[in-house]
Structure 1
Amino acid sequence: MCNHLAFWFGKDPARMDAMFRRSGLMREKWERDDYRAATIGKAIEGTPNVYDPNFGRRVGIRFGTNPGPGPGVTSGFSPPRSWDDPTRLAEDYLSGRCVRVVIDKCYLYRVDSDKPERNDCWEPVSDAWMQSDMWQLCVAAALQEWERKEAKRVADNEKAAQDAEENGEEAKQKKPEVVPPVFPAMVNSALLDTKSQSRLFDDTKLGTWIDGDPNAPHPVRVGNGLLDLKTRELKKHSPAWFSTTKIPAIYDPKEPYPVKVLDLLKYVFDGDDTRISVFQECLGACLSSKLIWKHFTAFEGDGDSGKSTLLNLILLFLGERNCSTISLKKLTTEKFAAFDMYGKAANLSADEAYFESADEGRLRELTGGDWVYWEEKFKSGFKGRNITKIFFSCNRMPKFSDKSNAIWNRLILFPCENVIPADKKDPIYMTPEFWEGSQSGLLNFALDGLDRYLSNRRITFSPKIVLAGERHRSASDSARMYLQDNFVEKDHARVATHLIYADYLDWLAVNGYKGQLESNMFGKEIPQLFKSAKSQTRDGVRCWIGITQTTSKEDLDFRRNIHPTNKERARQRENDSRGHTSYGQAYARLVEGNN
């Protein structure tokens, strides 16, 4: 209570004492001078700021709207309003705060927080917080109204006593005023009026300009101002840039790349400059809310290979309040999980557990640059693009069943093969103190990576990353793995379609793979892998032209006979190969033609 009084009454001990005596918290021990002075002093010391009615003008932007006179009312005339009028309370509230409301979500622009990383930045606040804050204002307004009435009563009593003394009469004294009560309905009405005065259009998205030029360049908010990502011009902080992201690093164009970071990257990526360049571009992409980043990033490797250290480095650079930590499995299987990462710079998931399959449609949606439907549980949903860059690490990559190129073109898979020996492990790499002083240089490192990506319009080519992605795609797709292991492109070669599919079923049975593809779906895999392959009919048999099988005869015989359920099919193939059927005769001609 005393802290609230210190805020609303400018840390004035006399007014704080007077207000507290009229509150319902007054106790006998308050009469003790030592206790009263200590309590008031502690409240003043614990209140860093006081109520400022000129806050809106000081930050250079107006956040309240005064309706003004209605039709037929003389200009400049304002009807008297009581202290509990909702519009008056809302205007008083907005005169001391920057508030914006989009749909049902409230955002507060802070400038007076005791934590520097939260100042000069928009922050989402809950309805419960807004209601509590409005309740405090209503209590202060009630106390101010009581103070006004009490001062008027004292003055009236003094005048009445003076008049009675002159007239020789007994003075009639007014009774002390009672502090007006504050009811929940009053708070709710004032809160609704506040939201109506500070409401933005429902299609307003994070990372846009409000009360300004919507076509102005999109900056990134850093520790010392708004940084233009294209020109690297630094401007003062402004609430007109509607974004909840603030990078804690201080921008200094002369700061070199931090040696600690470069040493870490060289060790984890085994000195591979191409992987370091791709990591630099991924980090730079987190700075831009306008960039359509059609990728998600994974770090795969054994334990103690530096994966978690890289994610921790990204977290410390971007700031904890700008990152979410939703696992990939939840992101792709739970309906409302993705909402927590809305408006964040990055989503970081460490030690991702292995799982067989997921809703890859949701992952494609979040990384496709298209509009996404965001839905919070028990609240209304809305549309907007995803600006959050997705990172995760794992010992074993989860399987993706996507047969198209959508997922695989977006996956950036960093193989982390350099395991840190036990005698070189140092937990200090995971602490913020170790990286202290590296943020400004790391910001320049990320900015250069973003510039290179925008200039090349693609990520830097890295053979290791491409090979890791191809290997994982083959491991996730048994049909693709079979084709890669058993076939190569060869001009004018041809293989019967039904023989390829039969051998594919045998290969699955021998190797213990599940989830076989139907023949029509299997056929779609071949032209995706072998670009020159074409399906044609030759000598009455449907064939694939332009590929040939490299499997040895011993392996083929082993597959056909090793699995008990394939014995009947094996005998049929043996008859076919001897030319006892039309298929067998056609196959003999195909084999002779390939040789």
Structure 2
Amino acid sequence: MEQLKQQKIWVCWRYETKHSRRTKVLYNTKGYKTGTSKKYNFQWASYDEATVAVKANGFDGIGLVLPKGIGGIDLDHIDRNSILAEEVRELMNTYEELSPSSKGIHHLFKVDVEKIPSNKGKLSSDYYSKNPHNDMEIYIGGLTNRYLTFTGETINDVPLADRTDEVLTFLDKYMKKERFKEDSCDHFDIIVTARKAKNGEKFIALFDKGDISGYGSPSEADQALCNILSFYTGGNADQMDSLFRQSKLYREKWEREDYRTSTIENAIKGCHGKFYIGSKSRPPYIYYDERSKRMKVNCPLLARHIRENLHYIFVRDSARGGVLRYVYEDGCYRLYADEMLKGIIKNYITSFDESILQMRDVNEVFGQITTDLKFKTSEELNADEDIINFQNGILRLSDMKLLPHSPEVMSTIQIPCNWLGSAKPTPVFDKFMNDLTSGDKAVENLLLEFMGVCLSNVKGHRMKKSLFMVGKGDTGKSQLKSLTERLLGNGNFIGIDLKEIESRFGTGNLYNKRLAGSSDMSFLTVGELRIFKQCTGGDSIFAEFKGQNGFEFIYKGLFWFCMNRLPKFGGDDGQWVYDRIMQVNCNNVIPKEKQDKFLLDKMYAERDGIVHKAIMALTQVIKNGYTFTEPQCVEKAREVYMAENNTVIAFFTECMEERPLGKIKDSCTTGRVFDVYKAWCMDNNHGYAKTAKEFRTELADYLGTTFSDMTVRRGKGGTFYHRYTLTDEAKSRYQRAYGYDEFPLLASNQ
């Protein structure tokens, strides 16, 4: 672009209204109207001169008159993430930017003019320079005398590349004019049909008589006749030209290529794709029935046509014993209900002729397609851990290369943003994360790592971790989870708490979910984290829905819980359980007057930049052997949680103390200690208590010894912990369980 910016090829433009139509009018840098033909080239300026003039004269923008060897493609009224835009982007792979309206796309490239089909110094008449059927335009300096607006709002900011071969492909694929088809109506049929139509008198006056009395000028009459011809020829430009030459309106002006082309293109565009049915090519599944004298649908042929032209997959639903139907749409397989699939079948028929639609045909075709015995398994969906599906392509994590979408990639999750490949400012998100983590960058990085894994296909059990965000209300802890869920899309996450996960009919809700958890989990006590252990460990789990057969699956997603208090759980609560919990404490309460009710929407608007941060953090997790980077505060919180949640440790900390001088002077046997422990669990752990053996073993492990080494036998008095006893407060509070110190024992140092 820098070389072009130095050349005197730049002009300014301003929006002006002419004949009730808003158009761009060209000006030179001094404020006078100019043009794109060679006679104006002395008025053109450099890029810098043009940009200065825009500010000085209040112009709306700048553009460049394309010099020989430089070409441009203009796509109007198109979403930058649409399939068509992606096709052209993949083909051209050159400098790309948004149009001034932000509703179009421009490509700039180098081209060898000598290799482009031409005739008398202009683009060959076999091709449109402006295709009225698809809103595409192509301009080639040296063949087309045009300019292209320039905004600098880049989509693909790369140097201009030689795309001669790609231009030839583009011309053949998107700009080639349709020639007469063997099954098109011939001239005579079109003329007869037009004469018999409701507006036949209008056609006769123009075509047969050359009567222009009802029009303001001969050009308006030409346009009116072309409008009629466009409808009856199906927008066939060559056929329109041939028919017009047979009309009484034909005159020398029609030989002007620019006039003829613009008149025909305006007529085609004015039809908005709706043409006379007789002009349409009949699809192979439509036939003429001689008996009924009407068009009909051949259902087996339509079913075959759909199999060959529509990308779809059927997936066995192990959970409910049915079939899930997915249709490939905008780079991703979308879940379709039966009626939605029937709608697609219906459209194949009505796109040719609405009058021949019969729902029995739709149902028959639906039945033929859905009884094909070709199924995928749910394990095949989103199975490639090396890719992430974005709106503008498939990101391959191993080399960070953006690949084009392909129906061969069985992806049902598409992140609703573009992969830009570079950082983008996220001021709202940055402030939110700073408030959420109280400025702790290590914690912020951990949260981004976890978010990145959630947005990927990486199996959650590879990390063997879950996220528990703990703190008072109004800290924003649930907002980050909600943002991640919004990026994943409905159907890919579920709100569920730990107790529901462990319940008989709750486990099945995890099936095919990328993220599971609760945004506001109430304090709860769970007997055992059996399913939690299996899910985070990658084990096969058994699940069932009420009234249906059970099934097994491996949970590939992650757990994310937000809560005010950590849950209590019993059963196997060894070190492995706590190692699978990453506890992040959120203590920064945001005052009501400073809370932003639209925070989630504002962060979602920054999603391109946020997702880039998360994916870059994800790459570090992968490089570290699928290991999260846990800050010291998370490791410390784990130790505290273990002490508080483990009833043995918590009981020891709260209710036991060292014996004064190491002497046994009470009746506090090991049996009485366990009895008081069980009573304490009734008050503090909903009655869930360890067995006597588990209590002794875990207490000894915590103290770094063995039960035999920490106890002493005192004759008939029983077995005692020779260094530890219950506190007086514990003996008093749980007197019913403890009893009394019935007799003084001899002092002992053992």
What TM bracket, shorter-length normalisation? 0.5 to 0.7
Match of 2:374 in 1: 199
Alignment of 1:226-305 (within 5 A): 226-256=394-424, 258-291=426-459, 292-305=462-475
Letter aligned with residue 307 of structure 2: L
- Unaligned runs of 5+ residues in structure 1 are 1-9, 11-30, 33-43, 56-81, 112-118, 147-178, 210-216, 580-587
Task: Tell me if structure 1 keeps the 8 A contact 2:525–2:685.
Answer: no
Deviation at 1:258, TM superposition (A): 2.8
**Residues 365 and 372, structure 1, Cα contact 8 Å, conserved in 2:** yes
Number of corresponding residues: 451
Letter in 2 for 1:231: D
Matched, 1:208 2:421: no
- Secondary structure in structure 2 of the residue aligned to 1:440: helix
Instruction: State which of 190, 194, 209 in structure 1 corresponds to 2:365.
Output: 190
Q: Partners of 2:470 and 2:348 in 1: how far apart? A: 53
Counterpart of 2:332, as a letter, is C
Matched, 1:106 2:324: yes
Q: What does the per-residue CA deviation read over 1:517-545, in whole Å, with 9 as the maximum and x for residues that have no partner?
A: 33123224325534444545755889799
Amino acid of the structure 2 residue aligned with 1:578: L
1:248 is displaced (CA, Å) by 1.7
Shift of 1:232: 0.7
Q: Give the deviation of 1:237 after TM superposition.
A: 0.7
Q: Secondary structure at the match of 1:251?
A: coil
How far apart in 2 are the matches of 1:493 and 1:565? 25
Whether 2:731 is the aligned partner of 1:560: answer yes
Amino acid in the other structure paired with 1:225? G
Deviation at 1:410, TM superposition (A): 1.6
SS of aligned partner of 2:577 = helix
Q: How many angstroms does 1:414 deviate by?
A: 1.3
Deviations 1:448-469 (A, max 9, x none): 3222222334322323323333
1:578 corresponds to 2:745? yes
Q: From the superposition, tell whether residues 46 and 138 of structure 1 become closer, same or farther in structure 2 (CA, over 3 Å).
A: closer
Corresponding residue of 2:61: none
2:585 counterpart letter in structure 1: P
Which of 87, 90, 99 is residue 303 of structure 2 equivalent to?
A: 90
1:285 Cα deviation after fit: 1.2
Secondary structure of the structure 2 residue equivalent to 1:220: strand
1:461 and 1:565 map into 2 onto residues whose CA distance is 45
Measured after TM superposition, the shift of residue 324 of structure 1 is 2.1
**Cα separation, partners in 2 of 1:232 and 1:331, compared to 1, 3 Å:** farther
CA contact (8 A) 1:223 1:250 kept: yes
Matches within 5 A, 1:273-352: 273-291=441-459, 292-316=462-486, 318-321=487-490, 323-329=492-498, 331-332=500-501, 335=504, 337=506, 339=508, 342-347=511-516, 349-352=518-521
Instruction: Give the letter aligned to residue 301 of structure 2.
Output: R
**Residues 29-73 of structure 1: CA deviation (Å, up to 9, x unaligned):** xx99xxxxxxxxxxx9899xxxx9999xxxxxxxxxxxxxxxxxx
SS of equivalent residue, structure 1 residue 122:
strand
CA contact (8 A) 1:326 1:338 kept: no
Q: Shift in Å at residue 242 of structure 1?
A: 0.8
Q: Who is 1:429 aligned against? A: 599
1:264 is paired with a residue of what secondary structure?
helix
1:454 maps to which residue? 622
Q: After superposition, give the CA deviation of every residue in 1:107-157 in whole Å (9 maximum; x if it has no partner).
A: 43443xxxxxxx21111222343345446657889x79x9xxxxxxxxxxx
Could you tell me which amino acid in structure 1 is paired with residue 564 of structure 2?
Answer: N
Structure 2: which amino acid aligns with 1:556? T
Q: Which has the higher strand share?
A: 2
- 1:168-221 Cα shifts (integer Å, max 9, x gaps): xxxxxxxxxxx69653xx655533431354723446421136xxxxxxx73110
Whole-Å Cα distance in 1 between the matches of residues 390 and 510 of structure 2?
20
SS at match of 2:584: strand
Between stretches 247-256 and 297-306, larger displacement belongs to 247-256
Of structures 1 and 2, the one with the larger relative CO (CA 8 A, separation 6+) is 1
Alpha carbons 1:100, 1:195 under 8 Å: kept: no
- Alpha-carbon distance between aligned partners in 2 of 1:269 and 1:187, rounded to the nearest angstrom: 56
Query: Structure 1 residues 198, 84: closer, same or farther in 2, change over 3 A?
Result: farther
2:635 & 2:446 partners in 1: Cα distance? 12
Corresponding residue for residue 573 of structure 2: 404
Alpha-carbon distance in structure 1 between the residues aligned to 2:281 and 2:727: 85
Indicate whether 1:443 and 2:611 are aligned: yes
**Shift in CA distance, 313/480, structure 1 to aligned 2, threshold 3 Å:** same
Which runs of 5 or more residues in structure 2 are unaligned? Answer: 1-132, 134-197, 200-270, 275-279, 284-294, 317-321
The aligned residue for residue 45 of structure 2 is none
Does the 8 Å contact 1:356/1:400 carry over to 2? yes
Q: Which amino acid aligns with 1:281?
A: E
Structure 1 equivalent of residue 32 of structure 2: none
Preserved CA contact (<8 Å) 2:446 2:628: yes
2:634 maps to which residue? Answer: 465
1:323-378: CA deviation from partner (whole Å, max 9, x where unpaired):
42322157415555555554443335322223332663233333222234565677
Alignment check: 8 A CA contact 2:499 2:524 kept: no
Query: Quick one: structure 1 residues 259 and 471, their matched pair in 2 at CA, closer, same or farther if it must change by over 3 Å?
Result: same
Question: Which amino acid in structure 2 is aligned with residue 310 of structure 1?
Answer: L
Stretch deviating more after TM superposition (220-229 or 272-281): 272-281
Output the CA distance in 2 between the equivalents of 1:395 and 1:201.
Answer: 42
Alignment of 1:347-426 (within 5 A): 347=516, 349-357=518-526, 360-373=529-542, 383-405=552-574, 406-426=576-596
Task: State the distance in 2 between where 1:221 and 1:510 align.
Answer: 51
Q: Which has the higher helix share?
A: 1
Q: CA deviation at 1:314?
A: 2.2
- Aligned position for 2:110: none
How far apart, in 2, do the equivalents of 1:133 and 1:247 lie? 25
Q: Secondary structure at the match of 2:434?
A: helix
Relative to structure 1, the CA distance from residue 308 to residue 128 in structure 2 (aligned partners, 3 Å threshold; closer, same or farther) is same
Q: Report deviation, 1:267.
A: 1.6
Residues 463 and 193 from structure 1, CA distance in 2 versus in 1: closer, same or farther, beyond 3 angstroms? same
User: Once the 2 structures are TM-superposed, how far is the Cα of residue 482 of structure 1 from its aligned partner?
Assistant: 1.1
Q: Contact (CA 8 Å) 1:300, 1:416: kept in 2 or not?
A: yes
What SS does the aligned partner of 1:305 have?
coil
Structure 1 residue 514: deviation in Å? 3.5
1-structure distance, mates of 2:696, 2:491 = 45
Q: Deviations over 1:265-292 (max 9, x none)?
A: 2221112222112212211211332332
* Alpha-carbon separation, structure 2, partners of 1:404 and 1:493: 33
Is contact 2:714–2:720 with CA below 8 Å preserved after alignment? no
Tell me if structure 2 keeps the 8 A contact 1:245–1:344.
no
Aligned to 2:15: none
Q: How does 1:437-516 map to 2 (within 5 A)?
A: 438-457=606-625, 458-485=627-654, 497-498=670-671, 500-505=673-678, 514-516=687-689
Partner of 2:292: none
Q: TM-score, normalised by structure 2?
A: 0.52
What is residue 122 of structure 1 aligned with on the other side? 333
Q: 1:479 to 1:137 in 2, by over 3 A?
A: same
* 8 Å CA contact retained: 2:655, 2:727: no
Cα distance change on mapping 1:267 and 1:528 into 2, 3 Å: farther
CA distance, structure 2, for counterparts of residue 231 and residue 544 of structure 1 = 64
Percent same amino acid at aligned positions?
19
Q: 1:336 & 1:188 partners in 2: Cα distance? A: 35
Q: Matches of 1:288 and 1:280 in 2, distance apart?
A: 12
CA offsets per residue over residues 2-28 of structure 1, 9 Å max, x none?
xxxxxxxx9xxxxxxxxxxxxxxxxxx
